[in-house]
Structure 1
């Protein structure tokens, strides 16, 4: 388990736990940066972007012990805008942060299906369990019930299947079963008039990632094209996006997140909430690989995209988190 309580491998983090960590000293440095006239934003960035989520939470405990004040409240009173939002996200335990993002995606005006897809389609069973617990503890509501109440049709069934966190994670593979699953997907989709989406849910939400890699190869062998093409022709709207995201995240999770980052900054205005969530949640896991995928697929570096799209302390904070300060 890593320090956030999740079992994923940290393949290429850009934020790692600092060696010789002294939470009391960090609390004192932050207090000094916020005391008196004006705020030393540079010091706040230097401290909080160079500590892991678990270490930041320890600093908050020390801050309250030393000064009798809540560090997040103090930071919020000193900062503003997207810089404030990024710092608050960094200071929030990751399961609670994900729970809030899901809650807001469900309970706002309309549903932000993109956030539901991004989170529910890319996390492990253990991560989903932890987030479900955090959701219930924070909002006194059941995540699965809220997903059911706010989505509909095939997309609702996909979200419920993913929320149940029943994926095989053994990484054991079986070529014969992969061929049978590929045939079942073909029979449930392209071969018939209409589509049996339950077969797509069953295969894509239950099989382990290594096994699904074989299923995708078998599907290509049987049909002469990849499963993504079949999903695009057989489904539409949210369920199409959801199933495509599952497939893309399984094929190359870092490329999936790179595309999400690209979409957050390109187009009409920046979706800062998406940008902040993606940087904060991936910087301790695989941001190094995501940066490589971003450059390979989008013809500019992630750092250059952030520099062109963000400004001030917000920009400096994001660049520090992706290891480009």
Structure 2
């Protein structure tokens, strides 16, 4: 894309701070369609022209700190979503982790757990290293230490710590024999379970010592050997906190599109209810994180499970801010 076109778009973005909504929609849809390297070039061009970081400006507006906040055409919700969209994925994940670990969310442990599982169960180990670096750069804290000190119900914390460990000690290549052996160990933990549930120590050991791709192969082998998903086996045991927490991880590792379709549906449904238990923030978190990864697969799974297109569900539930809705719909329509 020619540099001049980036300059024109940056000027349009700059003017959008006071642009009426009907003129803002097209700009929002345009940014949603930009690829990762194009968004980075737009950010660099904007700073070169105006001497200000575009993401910082968007975050400033999202926090409601602008003097022209009342008259501006761009809403705080849209600014927050755009600021996340304009940064690199590892920076974005660092922000999601920080929010999950340090925000005061009394009684909302499930929301913290969702965000952490999504990152540590669906990112490559090379990406986790970049996330740790971004976390330290932005927050001046060590991610590993903060994970150890996380305030979550005990079973949730143990699983998250094990997932983090899985990115440290593992072989680069997956091994079919190891996967089959691990699948059998998981099956035996179900057969030998006590009345209180499965043997946590065995599961946590496997999660700690196996990479995410290796775990994914293990769950595939489990289904091949025993004819059903490991998650189905978990449903047959006593449904304690550990088993419930484990089901989410297994689904996220084994079938990410299915997992994210479920999370999106719950978040969208929560927008139209007064419930405080729904992870309403998951809508933006998942849309900006998966738009360039597997959004097509998530959309197909969403339609299959819920009988409605994802974009239609967003339009009917995200009301009161057309530009924000248009941005989310554009992400739902984005292909890699």
- Asked if TM exceeds 0.5, the reply is yes
**What is the match of residue 69 of structure 2?**
none
Aligned equivalents of 2:255, 2:225: Cα separation in 1: 22
**Deviation string, structure 1 residues 289-317 (Cα, Å, up to 9, x no partner):** 11111111111110110011113111111
Q: 1:283 to 1:207 in 2, by over 3 A?
A: same
Q: CA RMSD in A?
A: 2.8
Aligned equivalents of 2:2, 2:94: Cα separation in 1: 31
Q: How many residues align?
A: 303
**What is the match of residue 134 of structure 1?**
134
1:94 counterpart = 2:104: no
Contact 1:190 1:230 in 2 (8 A): no
What TM-score does the superposition give when structure 1 sets the normalisation length? 0.81
Aligned equivalents of 1:42, 1:224: Cα separation in 2: 49
**What is the match of residue 236 of structure 1?**
240
Aligned equivalents of 1:80, 1:52: Cα separation in 2: 23
Contact 1:294 1:300 in 2 (8 A): yes
Contact 2:118 2:252 in 1 (8 A): no
**Deviation string, structure 1 residues 35-73 (Cα, Å, up to 9, x no partner):** 6x7564124303311212332232122112112233235
- Deviating more after overlay: 305-314 vs 179-188: 179-188
1:45 counterpart = 2:55: no
**Deviation string, structure 1 residues 164-223 (Cα, Å, up to 9, x no partner):** 313747454424x33322232233343142543232123345445665455335545776
- Deviating more after overlay: 308-317 vs 224-233: 224-233
- Deviating more after overlay: 39-48 vs 132-141: 39-48
Aligned equivalents of 2:31, 2:13: Cα separation in 1: 9
Contact 2:164 2:208 in 1 (8 A): no
What TM-score does the superposition give when structure 2 sets the normalisation length? 0.78
Aligned equivalents of 2:153, 2:80: Cα separation in 1: 31
Distance apart, 1:234 and its partner CA: 5.1
> Any unmatched runs of 5+ in structure 2?
67-71
Q: 1:34 to 1:178 in 2, by over 3 A?
A: closer
Aligned equivalents of 1:119, 1:281: Cα separation in 2: 9
**What is the match of residue 191 of structure 1?**
192
Q: Tell me which of 314, 317, 325 is aligned to 1:309.
A: 317
Q: Tell me which of 248, 268, 278 is aligned to 1:265.
A: 268
